[in-house]
Amino acid sequence: MAMTGVLRPGHVALRVTDLDAGVKHYRDVIGLMETGRDAQGRVYFKAWDEHDHHSVVLREADSAGMDYMGFRVDCEETLERLAAAVEGSGLATDLQWIGAGEQLHTGRRFRFTVPTGHAMELFAHKDKVGNGMPDVNPDPWPDDLKGMQPTRFDHCLLYGDDLDGTVKLFTEVLGFQVAERVMAGDTMVSAFLTCSTKPHDIAFIRHPEKNRFHHCSFILGSWGDVLRAADIISKKDVSLDIGPTRHGITRGETIYFFDPSGNRNEVFSGGYIYYPDKPVITWTVEDLGRAIFYHDRKLNDAFLNVHT
């Protein structure tokens, strides 16, 4: 098989300070489908073109932020192999197996903390619930879509201290590649990592604190959908960060905004097709503004300083 090992970002578990407000945001503004609630009160969502039961899990907590992010691997053997490799690497801490069923409709998960302080998970099974259309003679999109109508949860951008350690773990143990990076002289200050043909499946920025969450991102069908998302943000009085604009990194067309608890979200479209033999794109830190916001060519204050 040509796609092996880690297949994709499978879920992100977020803390929100007001669950009802969070549900309204992820369901009515972003337009995810609510697929379940569990005994702990967690609420599960999926984007419309995902077949798995969920890709976003919300729980109410005293502070916003990300609990963990999970990656779908191709099979149980890969799960065991990668769990052993993570353990053997000595790069991760807090290793544990979470039993099947702890998340609704989800098999066992191997959890570990990467050097930047973020909890990551690998799992090989989640129940399929379909994308709202039959597998025989389907239409191109289902009826009754709402909000921004992203097709999939795409990636997270995370801030943390030991960027080198986390990049080492993702590339040498989990099979990711660095598609793009930002360098301050010889120091890598940011890495955009892929396990697929997408320009990024996860990204990190060097930051003095451990375990900070910058944003989770959902993919849209077109630049026209980014405009529609921007209009929805204003129509529904959602807090905008920046956009519509283009990233230099990944070339994606993007808009950033905040959920009611202050967690940053992105919806975006575009970007190139990545292959493992593509040269790494390097951005110099002097050109960081253009790398992040290609049109403005400067960072807004929030980008570096607001995270949860």
- Catalytic positions are 155, 200, 215, 247, 256, 266
- Residue 297 contacts its own copies per CB under 8 A: yes
**What 3-state DSSP class applies to 294?**
coil
Rounded CA separation 49/242 (Å): 26
200 to 259, contacts with its own copies by CB under 8 A?
219, 221-224, 227, 230-231, 233-235, 240, 243-246, 248, 251, 253, 255
Q: Which is nearer to its own copies, 185 or 276 (CB)?
A: 276
Nearest in space to 156 (alpha carbons), one of 121, 187, 123:
121
Q: Give the x-and-dash track for 10-49 against its own copies (CB under 8 A).
A: ---------------------------------------x
- Residue 4 contacts its own copies per CB under 8 A: yes
Rounded CA separation 125/133 (Å): 21
150 to 189, contacts with its own copies by CB under 8 A?
151-152, 175-177
The residues near 153 (Cβ < 8 Å, ≥ 6 apart) are: 9, 11, 12, 47, 50, 55, 56, 216, 217, 218
Rounded CA separation 168/187 (Å): 14
For residue 212, list its beta bridge partners. 159
Q: Give the x-and-dash track for 123-152 against its own copies (CB under 8 A).
A: -----x-x----xxxxxxx-x-------xx
Rounded to a whole number of angstroms, the minimum distance from the CB of residue 275 to its own copies is 5
Rounded CA separation 283/291 (Å): 7
Number of residues near its own copies (by CB under 8 A): 72
Per the listing, tokens 């969502």 go with 45
Q: Which position among 281, 292, 303, 307 is part of the footprint of its own copies (CB under 8 A)? A: 281
- Residue 273 contacts its own copies per CB under 8 A: yes
